[in-house]
Amino acid sequence: MADGGLLIGTFIGLCGLGMIGCLFLPERHVPFSLAWTGSLASLVAIWIGGDAFFVGATFHLPLWTLPDLTLLSLGIDRLSGLFVLIAGIVSLAASVFSAAYLRRYLGRYSLRSFGIFYHILIASIVLVLLADEVVTFLIAWELMAIFSYLLVNFEHEHEEATQAGFLMLGMSEAGLTMVLIAFLLMAAPAGSLSFAALRTASAHFGGLLRWAIFLLSFIGFGVKAGLVPLNSWLPRAHPAAPADVSALLSGSILNLGLYGILRVNVSLMFMPSVGSGIVIMVVGAATALVGILYASTADDLKAVLAHSSIENIGIITTGFGAGFIFIGCHAHTAAAVAFAAAFYQMLNHSVYKTLLFLGAGGIDFQVGTRSLDRLGGLIRSMPWTAVTFLIGALSIAAIPPFNGFVSEWLTLQSLLLSAALPWTGIKIVFAVCGAILALTAALAVTCFVKLFGMGFLGMSRSAEAAHAAEAPLPIIAPLSVLALMCVVLGVTPTYVIPMLNRVVAPLVGASASNALVPPFFNGSPEHSKLPAQFVLDFHDIGAQVGQGELPGRGLVVLHRGGKANPVVFAMSTSYMAAVLVLILLAVYVFFRLILVRKRSVERRTVWDGGIQKLLPEMTYTATGFSNPVRVVFEATFKPTVAQYTKETVGTHFREAIHRTRQEDHVIDRFLLNRVTRRARLLADGLARIHHGQLNVYAAYGLLALLGVLIFAALTTFIHLPHF
């Protein structure tokens, strides 16, 4: 266990050193310098987070006193340790990736500015998570918001980048205002801005005050998390930002919104209740469905991933909402399962979404386009990128035995635990949200089949894709490590869940390990506590395979119910992966080494219906692949045809039809556009009073004075208190 102050000082020092290096080195050396200092700072962040998360090395570090306000301080516990650990992993991968990727901007944009902004951003992300009182938290949050805006707006010559940056900054500031009000409501009765004082005072908060703080913090932090209906900035900002910044946004910064919700409503003010849980779960389910619908129909590679980030944040939020409801119903074991599933999903999403965004950046770096309709065939020219991207796509589509399957499966199973709750209305809410998540999971498979199939398989649909080459090592290396993490996190859930339980148990008051990982291995100290017949039944089907060679409780994830229903759900991706490898090996041996061993292979041109040559224009595109989803959910998308033209290109009634469709996002259509129209009407009305006539302006002053006098007279005669 290292000294917390020394580690934080080292982390800040490395970020400062990186800024100095980017400022004074020639621009051509900035990518290399950023990669080194950013990676070293990220490794220290991983050390800080890992020390708290794995070992429980918490600390409180006072900085300096602001007179008559507060003592600025930093601290860490296991909750913030998990988030710091994830942030360090994401920034480490992004930093290594930047060594090659940033070379594309040489001579076009200032890499010195990028390097300075980048180091401040990763420092502010960690400081948000380490803040131990309100002032430091808000300062770090504001730095994170400003410098993420500057990095999203890095390619400022493109109008879409500038618009996306301003939208993100404006919505972030609005959310921060609500968070500030929530903190002030907490600090007023506490008489202090330290988190410890807020935690102590929150025990005496009334119900109305609790709900006000919950709604303000949930909405304010929900903006940064990308929750519906406050997520319109996210699908615009991610495609506009450089790929390494997109990875930080999706893999790390979105998590800050979730962290804020949990820190305020679970750690500082214990607000889990049925009502707040329903709000969180319904918003999460709606967010997941809206995100995957637009991801399934988008053509831009990064736009697909951005909308998918909304979907995944929705799944995570749904899990936390279920945990809130279970706590409100005093079902703490079920709450532990839901929270463990949500944290698992958050960890997995950060890993595979960082992989996919960096992979998309590698494709853009080598090919020069992100349009799925113009890609294709990249598996031949970029095989290593294709393999790592395939692992990320399988993971995010929740295909076993990869990591996304485990956490999404656990989330759905945690919703099924609502069958034990006593209220029918709550069961209906769980059923509807569960059905939405099931639909979301199915659409996610469709979405990422399209993404990989249209991007990497088939024939190239553009000259750029046809002449692509494999990405350089600084891009391939982080992709490979992240792909390996997707596999490891997928096949070792019985080791990941006990680690996450170190965060879950203090928050919920119940053990996720005991609920989900029975000690089937004889070497486990708690093995003797299992019913003998239960152990025998599962040992007969192989639950003890691996004991003696492997440590831990076992390799089976299983939740047991009561006596009438001893097994609620069970699975093992560890055994699943082993069986899958054996099946693939057996198939390879049979077909390659036995069946065709003495047969020659002759390659000929495939008959293609008499067509002399198959052109790229004749092949299936990503737009065509996603058209069934667009048709089925037409009521949601409601596209408008912005352009429709016919052009005669030959004789015999042969025509080329050009149709451009423009979609109005469902959130914009039902909420934001209406608010905008009413705001403009109000502004137009107020504008009419600014007509430049001096006499009328004097009349306004007289009327205002008359109103004040009338109000003063009324308060005198009816004895109202003066303000």
The DSSP result for 301-312, as a single string, is: HHHHHHHHHHHH
Residue 465 covered by a domain: yes
Assess whether pLDDT exceeds 70 at residue 656: no
pLDDT of residue 355: 96
pLDDT tens per residue across span 450-478: 899 888 888 888 888 888 888 899 999 99
**pLDDT band for position 723 (cuts 50, 70, 90):** very low
Assess whether pLDDT exceeds 90 at residue 644: no
Residue 65 covered by a domain: no
The continuous run of DSSP H or E covering 572 comes out as: none
Residue 64 covered by a domain: no
pLDDT of residue 354: 95
Lowest mean pLDDT among 29-33, 618-622, 650-654: 650-654
Average pLDDT over residues 364-371: 88
pLDDT tens per residue across span 571-613: 889 989 989 999 999 988 888 777 777 677 777 777 766 666 6
pTM of the full structure: 0.89
Residue 281 covered by a domain: yes
Using omega within 30 degrees of 0 as the cis cutoff, is the peptide bond preceding 472 cis? no
**pLDDT band for position 68 (cuts 50, 70, 90):** confident
- Beta strands at 59-66 and 70-76: parallel, antiparallel or unpaired: antiparallel
Residue 386 covered by a domain: yes
Q: Find, among 304, 281, 648, the residue nearest to 450 by Cα.
A: 304
Integer Cα distance of 419 and 423 in angstroms:
9
Residue 318 covered by a domain: yes
Assess whether pLDDT exceeds 90 at residue 315: yes
- Domain enclosing residue 419, as ranges: 272-510
Integer Cα distance of 196 and 201 in angstroms:
9
Assess whether pLDDT exceeds 50 at residue 720: no
Residue 283 · residue 317 · CB < 8 Å = yes
Integer Cα distance of 137 and 480 in angstroms:
34
pLDDT of residue 722: 45
* Percent of the chain residues past pLDDT 70, beyond the cut: 88
Average pLDDT value for the chain: 85
Average pLDDT over residues 338-361: 95
Q: Count up the domains in the chain and report the number.
A: 2
pLDDT of residue 697: 73
Lowest mean pLDDT among 52-56, 100-104, 258-262, 524-528: 524-528
**pLDDT band for position 635 (cuts 50, 70, 90):** low
Average pLDDT over residues 501-509: 92
Residue 543 covered by a domain: no
Residue at a domain's end among 458, 483, 510: 510
Amino acid at 602: E
Residue at a domain's end among 479, 510, 541: 510
Assess whether pLDDT exceeds 60 at residue 702: yes
Residue at a domain's end among 510, 543, 563: 510
Placement of tokens 């209220």 in the chain: 423
Residue 67 covered by a domain: no
